[in-house]
Amino acid sequence: MAVKTPIYMDNHATTPTDPRVVEAMLPYFTEVFGNAASRNHSFGWQAEEAVENARATIAKAINADSKEIVFTSGATESNNLAIKGIAEMYAEKGNHIITCVTEHKAVIDPCKKLERQGFDVTWLPVLPSGLIDLDALRAAITDKTILITIMHGNNEIGVIQPVDEIGAIAAEKGIVFHTDATQTVGKIPVDVKKSNIHLLSFSGHKLYGPKGVGVLYVRRRKPRVRVTPILDGGGHERGMRSGTLNVTGIVGLGKAVELCIQEMESDTKRLSGLRDHLRKRLLESIPESYENGDPNHKLPHSLNISFSFVEGESLLMGIAEVAVSSGSACTSASLEPSYVLKSLGLGDELAHSSIRFGLGRFTTKEEVDYVADKLISVVEKLREMSPLYEMHNEGIDLSKVEWAHH
Ligand SMILES: *Cc1c(COP(=O)(O)O)cnc(C)c1O
């Protein structure tokens, strides 16, 4: 059977909404459209009931209590609320924050802003595997440290950080621990109690739910954690996030989480099987290709591979009917190599010629084979035109070549 193109293999960026989720949401647009904060009539009560059902489902999925779930517009907002909210609430206690260089921009940029405002931020490096060094984390802690914010699963290389160990260190030192779990909730088990997580962010559209809705988990007991709100208004969500609740979005998020939990085992098995197949085909058929991120600590649907001796833009153009992400990030003027790949020690060239494959619930074996075939042939073609690859094959050590300068 012919594969339908374009093929979507960029599920770290966003996922399609599961049709079962859409179905669950529909009545809340037209029939049960009440404001969940309206206390005087059944329209409001029904909306509130739907929100509370979703809240309970979501809380259970991460081993939290319903009262610890704050609905937001997505992980960007949740991360901002956690980081800025802790910085302001705990400012008297200290001004030091620990984070990591491979975080999502939605963590990096709030930390940078706090740095400009006078906070002291430690940017932990990562090992070539993409994992943080727990000894470096321990060594970075001072008596002024008020927050450790380290992501759970990385959105570019799929590496899963050791949250149990980080949580244990934070608990021992009495420091608040926030994790951006946008890539892990619904994909692998997440347990805020077991991992001693105090704050946790995630987003609906990364787990087959709708866009524009997310969660911040805020621990209420042992210890009770408080954040200063960013938005002031009606005092919704226990005062932490004012604004009329996105009832349809919340219902969709609840349904999406429910499905993810029900299907986690089978999805994981199927997707890791497909991912392993893709990895094997690419690495075995394409010489000088390398996997990025520790394969033993990796999200089941995630694969990131660098291809030497090909140019990143030509590579992407060659596989134009496949939606993937490259190791280049568009900034205002130019293509910048990914800061995540560079932090693993990759050079600019290799970072540019890297591809992130994000498999998902709707990815098929046929699609995976199509993508593998296509890449194998495109890389081969590009290398036929590469004088560098020819020199490399003749056994010339390119790092020792003295190039003529113009
Ligand atoms: C997508 C993503 C975000 C941002 O989520 P939004 O819903 O777009 O706000 C934050 N962190 C990680 C790790 C992500 O993958």
Active-site entry in 100, 111, 260, 330: 330
Q: Which residues of 153-188 are buried (b: 16+ CB within 10 A; e: fewer)?
A: bbbbbbbbbbbeebbebbbeeebbbbbbbbbbbbbe
Q: Is 330 a catalytic residue?
A: yes
Pocket test for ligand 1, best of 17, 206, 241, 302 (most atoms within 8 A of CB): 206
Instruction: Tell me the per-residue pLDDT of 303-359, one tens digit each, with 9 for 90 and over.
Output: 999 999 999 999 999 999 999 999 987 766 678 999 999 999 999 999 999 999 999
In ligand 1, which atom is closest to the CA atom of 206? 1
* Cβ proximity of 382 and 164 under 8 Å: no
Average pLDDT over the chain reads 96
- What does the block give as tokens for 95? 């001004």
Residues of the chain with pLDDT > 70: what percent? Answer: 98
What is the rounded CA–CA span in Å between residue 357 and residue 303?
A: 5
Ligand 1 centre distance from Cα of residue 287 (Å): 33
In 216-344, which residue ranges form alpha helices assigned H by DSSP? 247-285, 312-318, 339-343
Whole-number pLDDT of residue 126: 98
Q: In this structure, which residue's CA is closest to atom 3 in ligand 1?
A: 75
Residues of the chain with pLDDT under 70: 1, 331-333, 405-406
- Give the full edge-to-edge strand order of the sheet including 302-307: 289-291, 302-307, 354-358, 325-326
Whole-number pLDDT of residue 80: 98
What is the value of pTM for the model shown?
A: 0.97
Is CATH 3.40.50.300 the classification given to domain 7-13+264-395? no
Ligand 1 centre distance from Cα of residue 275 (Å): 22
Whole-number pLDDT of residue 363: 98
Compute the C-alpha angle 155/135/152, nearest 5°. 20
* Cβ proximity of 86 and 199 under 8 Å: yes
Q: Which residues of 70-83 are buried (b: 16+ CB within 10 A; e: fewer)?
A: bbbbbbbbbbbbbb
Q: Give the relative orientation of helices 42-61 and 247-285 as an angle to the nearest 10 degrees.
A: 30
Ligand 1 centre distance from Cα of residue 138 (Å): 27
Is CATH 3.30.70.1050 the classification given to domain 19-259? no
* Cβ proximity of 41 and 34 under 8 Å: yes
> Residue 178's beta-bridge partner residues?
149, 199
Q: Where are the domains of the chain?
A: 7-13+264-395, 19-259
Whole-number pLDDT of residue 208: 98
Residues with CB under 6 A from ligand 1: 74-76, 104, 106, 151, 155, 180, 182-183, 203, 205-206, 214
Closest CA to 314 of 334, 293, 328: 328
What is the rounded CA–CA span in Å between residue 35 and residue 290?
A: 52
Whole-number pLDDT of residue 252: 98
Whole-number pLDDT of residue 400: 81
Instruction: Tell me the per-residue pLDDT of 255-303, one tens digit each, with 9 for 90 and over.
Output: 999 999 999 999 999 999 999 999 999 999 999 999 999 999 999 999 9
